[in-house]
């Protein structure tokens, strides 16, 4: 080989520097890349765009309640496969998977806690478990949370995040719509306030029952709220649907939602509402 000829291949190996995973997240609205720690410090809300990433029930309770004040109830309740339901997989197997992945026994966490020193009964749904679907356990736990509010003479707050009724439980799931609504009627008779917080998404049988029965209905920005999906509604009504008609902003404009509150402001807004509708009245 000539002294000045070029080699056919490089004899130098360059290793690509390893980039740590899980340190950044991309905003689906703006495309902005956000440092995970910064996002977590802002309750998983993108500071510039205001996009609300989904969060778990334990995270939301930590954001809402005074430190150390939340006491969980009914954690041991777990769904059973009463119908021995099988679609693409047995329901019993699905339940095992949901429990393993979420660390929960079902799709709602219930208990009592304080918000700015005001005692409340809370039920917070978790979309990680079966898409937050409402089965017999979810309905029972939310009903107990409402009854606990009546017994302790305190307000009730339910945070919804759900794809609707759980089809694998059939009528046992649909019955929960009536059960939770009847419990809320008893809460109203006791003259205790119910605050319903709608997050993305709140749909199906949850929307058609307790989620829209609040004395005050609050939604997070951009939340999808509705009963049936846009395609089903369009095919049923044979009409063109307005753009964004199932968004929190559309429903605020048309009167279903009372206010839209960013997650980072929710705790303080609840304090103001509790003082106006409960503390002052009780005093």
* 36 plus 164 within the same structural domain: no
169-208 pLDDT, tens digit each: 999 999 999 999 999 999 999 999 999 999 999 999 999 9
Domain co-membership, 27 together with 114: no
What CATH number corresponds to the domain at position 191? Answer: 3.90.226.10
Distance CA 34, CA 38 (A): 7
pLDDT at 254: 96
What pTM was estimated for this model as a whole?
Answer: 0.90
Whether residue 43 sits in one domain with residue 59? no
Note whether 49 and 61 are same-domain residues.
no
Residue 84: Cβ within 10 Å count: 9
Residue 105 lies in a domain: yes
10 is a domain residue: no
C-alpha span between 226 and 84 (Å, rounded): 30
Same domain, yes or no: 172 and 237: yes
Residues 111 and 228 in one domain: yes
Q: Are 138 and 40 in the same domain?
A: no
The residue range of the domain holding 173 is 55-282
| Closest C-alpha to 154, from 126, 185, 179, 120 | 120
- Asked if 63 and 110 sit in the same domain, the reply is yes
Q: Looking at the 3D structure of the chain, how many domains does it have?
A: 2
Query: How far is 184 from 158, CA to CA, in rounded Å?
Result: 11
Q: What is the pLDDT of residues 52-84, one digit of tens each?
A: 999 999 999 999 999 999 999 999 999 999 999
């Amino acid at each position: 080989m000539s002294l000045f000829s070029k080699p056919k291949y490089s004899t130098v190996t360059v290793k690509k520097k390893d980039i740590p995973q899980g340190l950044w997240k991309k905003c689906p609205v703006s495309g902005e890349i956000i440092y995970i720690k910064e996002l977590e410090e802002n309750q998983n809300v993108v500071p510039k765009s205001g996009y609300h990433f989904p969060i778990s029930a334990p995270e939301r309770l930590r954001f809402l309640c005074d430190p150390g004040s939340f006491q969980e109830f009914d954690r041991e309740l777990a769904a059973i496969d009463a119908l021995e339901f099988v679609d693409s997989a047995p329901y019993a197997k699905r339940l095992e998977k949901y429990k393993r992945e979420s660390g929960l026994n079902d799709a709602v966490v219930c208990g009592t806690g304080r918000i700015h020193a005001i005692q409340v009964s809370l039920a917070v749904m978790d979309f990680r478990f079966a898409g937050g679907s409402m089965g017999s356990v979810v309905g029972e736990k939310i009903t107990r949370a409402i009854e606990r509010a009546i017994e302790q003479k305190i307000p009730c707050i339910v945070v919804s995040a759900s794809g609707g009724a759980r089809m694998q439980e059939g009528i046992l799931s649909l019955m929960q719509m009536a059960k939770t609504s009847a419990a809320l009627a008893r809460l109203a008779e006791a003259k205790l306030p119910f605050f319903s917080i709608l997050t993305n998404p709140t749909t199906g049988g949850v929307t058609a029952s307790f989620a829209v029965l609040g004395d005050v209905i609050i939604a997070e920005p951009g939340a999808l709220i509705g009963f049936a999906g846009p395609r089903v509604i369009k095919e049923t009504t044979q009409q063109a649907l307005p753009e964004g008609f199932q968004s929190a902003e559309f429903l605020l404009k048309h009167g279903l939602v009372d206010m839209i509150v960013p997650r980072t402001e929710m705790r303080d807004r609840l304090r103001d509402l509790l003082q106006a509708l409960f503390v002052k009245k009780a005093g």
